[in-house]
């Protein structure tokens, strides 16, 4: 280990749903070291996706701070934050967010195109990754021509193609069968062994249990607990909706 890659301090995220104030993340504090493989587990609705969006700079906390390599994400302008994510992070979303007008290969190539990697190199790397995830015959298909599981595999290939320092993945195996889930987790493990820090949110504890070196923390009701259920970050009293 060569230091802390990501640090979260007393992070809260609240949003309104009608008249109700929803406390999605409550006082989470984390240190994630270089080369770590961290799995955040918990039931649906516990705040995993919200927390990952905060850790990956997709969303901003209501209070608290998220720092990556000493840089506070909340202090960056939108354009600067977008550039930073492109250069430092790979993000796997539950909803894929593929570009509908682009083919599978073009979607995967997109981060490298933004980074001005040569056309030959980015096509070569995209083809290799798509073959690895079982989509060799779908390179020229657009998202509407792909199943949900195939779209998820395209999104994962896109997230890892720039060999990010930090990979953040939200339920990356939710739409694939068991064999492909193991293959994708193997890809994450291989990247982790090459130095990528991996943070995965999943409800499937068995997958993580079979992942060498992975550490597990549990999120319940927006609050981190350890695997035995002991509160690590006791929540503050909820604020009133007014």
At residue 227, the pLDDT reads 54
3-state secondary structure at position 125 = helix
Side-by-side strand order, sheet with 197-202 = 89-92, 166-170, 197-202, 37-41, 215-220, 223-225
| pLDDT tens column, 89-122 | 999 888 888 999 999 999 999 888 877 889 999 9
Question: What's the CA dihedral at 80, 201, 186, 195 to 10 degrees?
Answer: 40
Give the single-character DSSP code of 232.
S
| pLDDT tens column, 152-183 | 999 999 999 988 999 999 988 888 888 888 88
Superfamily of domain 4-96+163-225: P-loop containing nucleotide triphosphate hydrolases (3.40.50.300)
pLDDT along the chain (242 residues), means of 10: 85 91 93 93 90 92 94 90 85 89 95 86 94 94 95 93 92 87 89 93 80 87 73 45 37
Element (H, E) at 190: helix 178-193
Domain ranges (residues) in the chain: 4-96+163-225
């Amino acid at each position: 280990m060569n230091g802390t890659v990501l640090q979260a301090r007393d992070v809260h995220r609240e949003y309104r749903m009608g008249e109700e104030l929803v406390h999605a993340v409550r006082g989470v504090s984390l240190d994630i070291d270089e080369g770590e493989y961290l799995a955040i587990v918990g039931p649906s609705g516990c705040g995993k996706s919200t927390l990952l969006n905060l850790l990956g700079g997709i969303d901003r906390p209501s209070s608290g701070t998220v720092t990556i390599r000493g840089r506070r994400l909340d202090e960056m302008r939108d354009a600067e934050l977008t550039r930073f994510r492109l250069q430092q992070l790979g993000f796997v979303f539950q909803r894929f967010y593929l570009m509908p007008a682009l083919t599978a290969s073009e979607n995967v190539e997109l981060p490298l195109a933004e980074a001005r990697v040569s056309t030959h190199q980015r096509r070569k790397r995209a083809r290799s990754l798509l073959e690895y995830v079982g989509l060799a015959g779908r390179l020229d298909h657009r998202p509407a021509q792909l199943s949900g599981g195939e779209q998820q595999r395209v999104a994962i290939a896109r997230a890892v193609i720039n060999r990010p320092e930090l990979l953040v993945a939200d339920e990356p195996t939710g739409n694939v069968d068991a064999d492909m889930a193991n293959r994708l987790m193997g890809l994450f493990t291989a990247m982790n062994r090459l130095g990528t820090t991996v943070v995965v949110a999943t409800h499937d504890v068995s997958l993580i249990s079979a992942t060498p070196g992975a550490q597990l923390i549990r999120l319940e009701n927006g609050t981190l607990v350890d695997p035995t259920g002991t509160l690590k970050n006791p929540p503050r009293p909820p604020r009133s909706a007014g």
